[in-house]
Amino acid sequence: MERHRKRREVDHVRLSENAEGTGGTIRGELFGDRFERVRNALEAGASRVPRRDDGSYESGDQRVAVALDELASAAIAADADPDRATVVIHTDADR
């Protein structure tokens, strides 16, 4: 039983892009302190998501998704190699 429990309690996260290439799914499982850190960071970020223009809030899951995006954006912005996060747009010079 102990061996099975230890094997199961391994952190893992899988990213899967959807067929259209417009988004994807994040699935996984975290344990212990790692789970607590991620949950605390996402809950704190979700609590800062502003209301919509009509005064209502996004759903809780939507606010968590926004918080996850903000955490990722902050990590990229703090990266010592900003070229990894650079988007290059090419346009015609005649326009």
Q: How far apart are CA 63 and CA 48, in angstroms?
A: 9
pTM (predicted TM-score): 0.70
50 within 8 A of 63, measured Cβ to Cβ: no
Which candidate, 12, 14, 15, 43, places its Cα nearest to that of 30?
A: 12
Confidence of residue 1 (pLDDT cuts 50, 70, 90): very low
Per-residue pLDDT at 93: 61
Containing 12, the helix (H) or strand (E) segment is strand 12-17
pLDDT, one tens digit per residue, over 4-37 is 555 568 899 999 999 998 999 999 999 999 999 9
Which of 26, 19, 14 is CA-nearest to residue 61? 26
Taking the C-alpha atoms of residue 67 and residue 59, their distance in angstroms, rounded to an integer, is: 12
